[in-house]
Amino acid sequence: MMAAPETRQQNGEQRKGAERREALQQPEAPAQGLEGRQQPAGPEQGSQPGTATEGAQQPEESNRDRVRRLLLVPLGFRFRRGTDAGEARRSLDALADELGYMSDASLSALRGMLASKGEGAARCFWPDLATFRGFAEIVQPRPLEEVPALVRWFRSVEGPRAVEAGTLVETFLWFEKKKAPPLTPQARAMVAQRAQQNHRRLEVISDRRAREVRNDAQDLEWERWYRSTLARVEALVARVQREKQAQDRTAGSAATAQGTGAAPQARPAQDTTRPTRTAEEMTR
């Protein structure tokens, strides 16, 4: 017997109600992204997103990294085949350190000058250090006080020796012109002779001033330049000598601490395998 239409309608509504109740009782499935992966849960209610990272400061860029960013990386040269990777990295690090005195604008200008100075048929290999130095001197000459050879020279015994001999300015000017110290006897003689001439000129200017005789304007300008340069070099020598003395004291303290902390030498152990002489045997 077929059910009445009203009965079938009631049964259908009961089934739909049961399905809705069953769906409400089941746990909600996690939301899926476009790739079918579970989306990460959002921040908890009441929390402030971003507060953990907003206060974090970015690490300060080193001078070496600045030169890499503005000069070496944009140039994009490469080393020749067979170059050791460690040696290549060290050479670029040394180059970046040497050019670290240059400003951002000067590094950008140097990059433009060196872009076409690559080596090889394709101009794709790194130029040598002399090429970098030459163009860097054109763009922004390095302060003479930062030239490593000059610093080493005045930091050695040659610094106090030049102070005593009165050749500080002349030695400084020799470095400025030659980019090297006066090593040979001929070079030292030329520096000493030039110092004598300059000292004589200073004496003449001072003597005229004492006698109230008018000095030439050119002489007065030269005197100001010489005394200013002398003060500049004296400050350099004093600074590098202080640094040397501080390092010597540190090294001496470390050596002393190492010496006092050394274990005392142990006496050689007595050989117990050999028989000892008795008092009776010793008096025989």
- State the SS3 of the chain: CCCCHHHHHHHHHHHHHHHHHHHHHCCCCCCECCCCCECCCCCCCCCCCCHHHHCCCCCCCCHHHHHHHHHHHHHCCECCCCCCHHHHHHHHHHHHHHCCCCCHHHHHHHHHHHCCCCECCCCCECCCHHHHHHHHHHHCCCCHHHCHHHHHHHHCCHHHHHHHHCCHHHHHHHHHHHCCCCCCHHHHHHHHHHHHHHHHHHHHHHHHHHCCCCCCHHHHHHHHHHHHHHHHHHHHHHHHHHHHHHHHHHHHHHHHHHHHCCCCCCCCCCCCCCCCCCHHHHCC
Residues 108 and 130 occupy one common structural domain: yes
Please report which confidence band the pLDDT of residue 145 belongs to, taking 50, 70 and 90 as the band edges: confident
Q: What pLDDT is attached to residue 29?
A: 44
Residues 158 and 132 occupy one common structural domain: no
Q: Which residue has the higher pLDDT, 43 or 165?
A: 165
Share of the chain above pLDDT 90, in %: 51
Residues 160 and 197 occupy one common structural domain: yes
**45 lies in a domain?**
no
Please report which confidence band the pLDDT of residue 281 belongs to, taking 50, 70 and 90 as the band edges: very low
**What CA–CA distance (Å, rounded) separates 168 from 192?**
10
Q: What pLDDT is attached to residue 274?
A: 47
Q: What pLDDT is attached to residue 57?
A: 67
**221 lies in a domain?**
yes
**What CA–CA distance (Å, rounded) separates 64 from 62?**
5
Q: Which of 117, 142, 167 is the last residue of a domain?
A: 142
Residue 139, pLDDT above cutoff 50: yes
Q: What pLDDT is attached to residue 205?
A: 96
Please report which confidence band the pLDDT of residue 141 belongs to, taking 50, 70 and 90 as the band edges: confident
Residues 123 and 160 occupy one common structural domain: no
Give me the number of domains the chain comprises.
Answer: 2
Please report which confidence band the pLDDT of residue 70 belongs to, taking 50, 70 and 90 as the band edges: very high
**171 lies in a domain?**
yes
Residue 128, pLDDT above cutoff 60: yes
Residues 122 and 175 occupy one common structural domain: no
Residue 44, pLDDT above cutoff 80: no
Please report which confidence band the pLDDT of residue 27 belongs to, taking 50, 70 and 90 as the band edges: very low
Q: Which of 142, 172, 192 is the last residue of a domain?
A: 142
**256 lies in a domain?**
no
Residues 154 and 212 occupy one common structural domain: yes
Residue 162, pLDDT above cutoff 70: yes
**What CA–CA distance (Å, rounded) separates 96 from 2?**
95
**16 lies in a domain?**
no
Residues 167 and 179 occupy one common structural domain: yes
Q: What pLDDT is attached to residue 177?
A: 86
Structure confidence by residue, pLDDT tens digits, 196-240: 999 999 999 999 999 999 999 999 999 999 999 999 999 999 999
For the residues 241-256, what does the mean pLDDT come to?
81
**76 lies in a domain?**
yes
Q: What pLDDT is attached to residue 153?
A: 92
Q: What pLDDT is attached to residue 111?
A: 95
Please report which confidence band the pLDDT of residue 275 belongs to, taking 50, 70 and 90 as the band edges: very low
Q: What pLDDT is attached to residue 142?
A: 83
**What CA–CA distance (Å, rounded) separates 209 from 279?**
98
**46 lies in a domain?**
no
Residue 182, burial from CB neighbour count under 10 angstroms (0-12, 13-18, 19+): buried
Provide the angle, in degrees to the nearest 10, between the axes of the packed helices 148-155 and 158-165: 70
* Domain range for 206: 146-250
Residues 78 and 156 occupy one common structural domain: no
Average predicted confidence (pLDDT) for the chain: 79
Residues 153 and 237 occupy one common structural domain: yes
Residues 151 and 132 occupy one common structural domain: no
> Whole-angstrom distance between the N-terminal and C-terminal Cα of the chain?
144
Residue 48, pLDDT above cutoff 60: no
Q: Which of 142, 162, 192 is the last residue of a domain?
A: 142
* Geometric angle at alpha carbon 161, from 160 and 164, rounded to 5°: 85
Residue 4, pLDDT above cutoff 70: no
**8 lies in a domain?**
no
Tell me phi and psi for residue 78, to 5 degrees: -135, 165
Residues 168 and 246 occupy one common structural domain: yes
Give the torsion sign (CA, 134, 139, 145, 146): negative
**What CA–CA distance (Å, rounded) separates 244 from 163?**
16
Residues 127 and 194 occupy one common structural domain: no
Q: What pLDDT is attached to residue 15?
A: 63
